[in-house]
Structure 1
Amino acid sequence: MAAPVLSTKHFKVSKLLGEQIRFLSPGEMIPTVAELKEQYEASQATITQALERLRQQGIIERPAGKKRLVVARIGARPDFRVTLIRPLWSSPDYDSITNHIYELGLKENFGFGVHIYSSINDLNLEHALQNSDAGIVLGDLQMGADQVKAFNGSRKPVVFLRDKPAKVHRDSVWVDDVAVGRLATQHLQKLGHSRILVMLSEPSNPSSTARMQGWKQAMEKRGTAKFEQLISDCSVPSGTDSLTGSYHRFGAWLDSRKGSFTAVFCTAWTGALAVLRTLRERNIRVPEDVSVITFASELPLCDFTAPALTAMEMDVERYTREAMRLVTKHLRGTEYPVKPENIRLTPTLVQRGSTGPARR
């Protein structure tokens, strides 16, 4: 296995030279390759690679028609460059996470790039990270063996922000999705509900499956039987509008009168919005007739619905802070690789107006 980039000679030389350049003025010539070879006791190949890293980072440049490299004529330069690797499809949840990461990273003087993949198994990881010092990945559990090998063999630090396959030995931050479903269901049970429907709205994915597993655990503990009558699978195919699609599917399910219920646990906020509209159109009151609880993911939308949605929420600030800590740990201190850290975050119940005591 190749040595991690952070432990290579050219990386260390580039960091030392970068610090030296900070004391030079924009446009000032940097030492020649021969001078740098002698200064750092390094080969020409090592110096050339170090200079190329600094050029890619925008720290040095070669003016048109000139042979010598000079200090770039720009403002503040980032200490490190991090690439955010995310799926192609649009997601308000992903946008919320990435915006928080950008804010925290800029405070640390990090520069950012984005690499988008349509399928995790088509991702060229080496290409995605070629101009960066580290990567932050919004992953996919459906990762093939070749891609697992690519991530495990990466010479650069990589942190997963969810959906990391068990065989990938990299740092990760993730939400305990089983706890999401279990705690949401237990909240409804404490209010006297026993016929608790679980509603799926997003395309089939491990997170929703885990939340439904938590719902099932809580229901089994209370002795509830016939789970199939309390599952409303309104999930839509990948790449389609889950909000609109689940709204139409839940309306059809409700009109078919497949079973009675007094509460709904929605595994995603898209389903909760669809449920609220569907119930309102049929004059079913929330929470007087049916209570609704959801997982709010990374969005602060639950205060803006009518009624405001009770939700299992996660601390987005902590989520992104832990991710940046893991990246910074490698880039500013600990050499890579070390034993991976897997940070599991427990969600918090925020009670609002959409849940209430079960009707008699």
Structure 2
Amino acid sequence: MRRELRKLHLVRLDKGGIMPKLLTETKHFQAASQIRELVNTLSPGEVLPVASELMETLNISHGTAMRALKVLADEGVIVRPMGKLRYRIAERFERVSARISMVRPDFPSSDLDGMVQSVYEAGKKRNWKFNQYCFRKSDEVDFTRIMGEADAMVLIPTAEFISEELIRALLKPERPVAVLLQHLRHPGINNVCINDFRVGELAAETLFERGHRRILFVKDQPDETTMAERYRGFSAAAERFGIPCGGEWFLDTHIHAFEDGRENCYRALSELIGRKKPEFTAVFCASMMGGVAALRAVREQGLAVPDDIAVLAFGGESDLAPYLYPPLSCIEIHYELFGEYAARLLEAALSPEPSEPRRFTIEPRLVLRESI
């Protein structure tokens, strides 16, 4: 059994020192992870090494070895039959390398569903097990309990600016956390987001290069960091080209978190176009739902896309855009990167020598169809 432990090339844990705050940096967590790696190579019913053997192989204390074994016993990975002194591999257990809590807003969204699925797919390759939690308000989420049930957490915040209180909690988590979608400027938090500044900039560039000088920016999502960045990028490009931006060229549809923006966007655009012949020749909708609503509103007001008004949108749900009429031009991203990047961040944080938090940014790309 000692030989099998050595075959795994387990990293020895340093002695002494002050116990770090992060659970992943504690000796018993690292020891449990390494013993779990051994367990995944054994058959049900096989006997685990005794504590003294684990102490020698992993260079840990007796107390650390016993705490690590208790962690695995609580998970149901190992069992100690009544009257026996040694742990055995449980007859039935999931051979997982890590348990991840997925925390997401309680809101039906193809974007969110695609994001979550990409994390699951990336985790499946790493033999991770997931627990999913949904919420309406972030301040009502019991993060302590959720983190206590897993080795790490993936958090997708609601479509609103993140509170300072939540930022402080994310800076000192009990377990590693990766935050998706929203922009977190603090370098101490693992973050995966879209280059939303480039999304807005690319939208203005695309329409300007195709001869449009009067472009309506449609804010069809709540006030939050992704929307703010898209408008900031659009404004920067508009200023560079010397075309108007803001004021009458900005349509706020007043969407709030957990609301579907399609109806609001459709009504706001229909009213705007219906009052008088529009001066704008192109519309950029900051989300896919706004783009869908814009196509309908323009058509129902007796105008043609793209002859009278061109329509461009950020196409999170890129699989829908080709089937609209006319097919919608979109600025898109590879959504599977959310999962892969999140998995890399957590993988690094869960390693015996955790790395510093990082930020991954997903770059957008232009997909031209018939709406421009």
Shorter-chain TM-score tier: 0.7 to 0.9
**Cα distance change, pair 260–11 in 1 and its aligned pair in 2 (3 A):** same
Structure 2 equivalent of residue 9 of structure 1:
27
Structure 2 equivalent of residue 345 of structure 1:
362
- Which whole-Å CA distance do the structure 2 matches of 1:181 and 1:275 have between them? 17
**Cα distance change, pair 53–299 in 1 and its aligned pair in 2 (3 A):** farther
- Which whole-Å CA distance do the structure 2 matches of 1:205 and 1:281 have between them? 31
2:151 corresponds to 1:133: yes
| Alignment deviations for residues 225-272 of structure 1 (CA, whole Å, 9 cap, x no partner) | 463111121232322221123222322222223841111000001110
Instruction: Map 1:189-268 onto structure 2 (within 5 A).
Output: 189-225=208-244, 227-257=246-276, 259-268=278-287
Q: Select which of 117, 128, 153 maps to 2:135.
A: 117
2:286 corresponds to 1:270: no
**Cα distance change, pair 72–340 in 1 and its aligned pair in 2 (3 A):** same
- Which whole-Å CA distance do the structure 1 matches of 2:229 and 2:127 have between them? 37
Structure 1 equivalent of residue 333 of structure 2:
314
Q: Select which of 288, 299, 313 maps to 1:294.
A: 313
- Answer yes or no: is the 8 Å Cα contact 1:97–1:298 preserved in 2: no
1:76 Cα deviation from its structure 2 partner: 5.1
- Which whole-Å CA distance do the structure 2 matches of 1:39 and 1:190 have between them? 65
Q: Select which of 33, 43, 50 maps to 2:68.
A: 50
TM-score by length of 2: 0.84
- Percent identical among aligned pairs is 29
Unpaired stretches in structure 2, ≥5 consecutive residues: 1-18
- Which whole-Å CA distance do the structure 1 matches of 2:74 and 2:219 have between them? 45
Structure 2 equivalent of residue 358 of structure 1:
none
Which residue type is aligned with residue 77 of structure 1?
Answer: R
1:171 Cα deviation from its structure 2 partner: 1.8
Structure 2 equivalent of residue 158 of structure 1:
177
- Which whole-Å CA distance do the structure 2 matches of 1:258 and 1:161 have between them? 41
Aligned residue pairs total 353
Q: Select which of 259, 276, 283 maps to 2:302.
A: 283
| Alignment deviations for residues 181-234 of structure 1 (CA, whole Å, 9 cap, x no partner) | 111111111111111111122222221222122222222222224631111212
Which residue type is aligned with residue 299 of structure 2?
Answer: R
Unpaired stretches in structure 1, ≥5 consecutive residues: 356-360
Structure 1 equivalent of residue 9 of structure 2:
none
1:93 Cα deviation from its structure 2 partner: 0.7
Pairwise CA RMSD: 2.8
Which residue type is aligned with residue 151 of structure 2?
Answer: D
- Answer yes or no: is the 8 Å Cα contact 2:218–2:251 preserved in 1: yes
1:301 Cα deviation from its structure 2 partner: 1.5
Structure 2 equivalent of residue 98 of structure 1:
116
**Cα distance change, pair 260–71 in 1 and its aligned pair in 2 (3 A):** same
SS in 2 for 1:161: strand
- Which whole-Å CA distance do the structure 2 matches of 1:2 and 1:41 have between them? 18
